[in-house]
Each structure stands twice: as structure tokens, then as C-alpha cells.
Amino acid sequence: MPSPFRQRIERSVAEAESRLADADALEKTLQRLCADEEISEPQAVSLRSSIRNQLDASRYILRHLGAHLAIGAVFAFDVVPLPLGTIARVSWVAGNRLVESARRDLERARVHSGGVLLIAAVPWLGYAAYLLPLRRHSSELAFVLANHTWLNRTGRTYEQFLARSRSPVRRLGRWLVPFPGAPRDPAA
């Protein structure tokens, strides 16, 4: 029988993943982005047409992004003066890399890359570390999910956050979540 802590983590991961993969909620986010004139109607139509297929194709990455968001929920009100969320995220990435490498599933092992590990080690930003492989797989889905998650947590879109941010934050944020239709970075 799993421990109560493990049950809590598993429940949090499942809830976070289901919120991320909710196509109807993502549709509402697209409507909001259109209403706020962050994207055009043709861009919204294009994103709408591909989002369900991209959700299905990105299920493995979304599970791990959901896990990082669940880690944030579990350790959000931790009173211990240690970076437990950061430790948990880094352990999650490294552990999954080892497991998938041992299984000789190199495609899945690449999801848990060194870049994801480095981003996971950064306080607060680390919760979004799996946006890195998601943007490689589907930059459109990464864009919609970033806006959806930011909107749910802050009441503002990711685009509004970036517009009000200082230049270094804006550059990093746009690198992590490219605008749909923007030229792809060959280094990404």
C-alpha cells in the first residue's frame, strides 16, 4: 500500500495533467487570447485545428509537466527552509532520465535532457522545465499551455506577463515559449 505522501503526489500529478490536457479549457484560452488581441482569428483557427492531435502526441511530456506543477502544489506551503521543490524537480528529471535510459527508450530519455535538468534547478522557473521538450515537439501547444496555465494562476495571459516584463525576462520567456508562426530557432 502506497504511503499517504505518495498517494498525495500521484493524485496531484493526475489532477495537474488532466487540467493541462483539457481541450475545452484550452479552447477557452484561445478565445481569451483572441479577445485580448494577443493572437489573430486566423491564428486561433489554426491553433484550434491542431491542438487535439498535439495533445495526444504530447501526452508523455504533459505527464511530466503535470508532475512538476504538482510538485509546486505539494511544496507551495512548505515551512521547512530548504528548497524542497527544486530538489524534487531535479530528482524527478534525473530519475526519469535514468529509468528511460535503463529501459533503452532513447526518445523518452531525451525528454529528460540536460537542458530540462538545468531549468528544473532554477527556483520558480523550474516548474516550467518540461516546456523545453514540449516546444521542440509542438511550439503551438507550448504557447497555448503557457497562456492557459498563466491565466489560471494569475488571471493574466502569459503574453500579458511578457509584455510587462523587463527585457531579459521577456527574452527568456519568449525563448522558452515561442509565438506561433515565429521562425524556429535551429538551436532549439
**Is the per-residue pLDDT at 124 higher than 90?**
no
Q: Is residue 109 part of a domain?
A: yes
pLDDT at 98: 96
Residues 110 and 116: their CA atoms lie apart, in Å, by: 10
The model's confidence at residue 132, banded by pLDDT at 50, 70 and 90, is very high
* pTM reported for the whole predicted model: 0.77
The rounded Cα 53 to chain-centroid distance in angstroms is: 17
Instruction: Give the Cα separation of 160 and 102 in Å (integer).
Output: 42
**Overall number of domains in the chain:** 1
Is residue 110, in this structure, part of any structural domain at all? Answer: yes
pLDDT per position as a tens digit, 31-66: 999 998 889 999 999 898 888 888 888 889 998 988
Asked whether residue 44 is assigned to any structural domain, the reply reads yes
Is residue 88 one of the residues assigned to a domain?
yes
Domain that holds residue 93: 4-133
Confidence (pLDDT) at 31 = 92
The DSSP code for 20 is H
Question: Which residues, in sequence order, are CB contacts of 178 under 8 Å at separation 6+?
Answer: 135, 139, 142, 143, 184, 185, 188
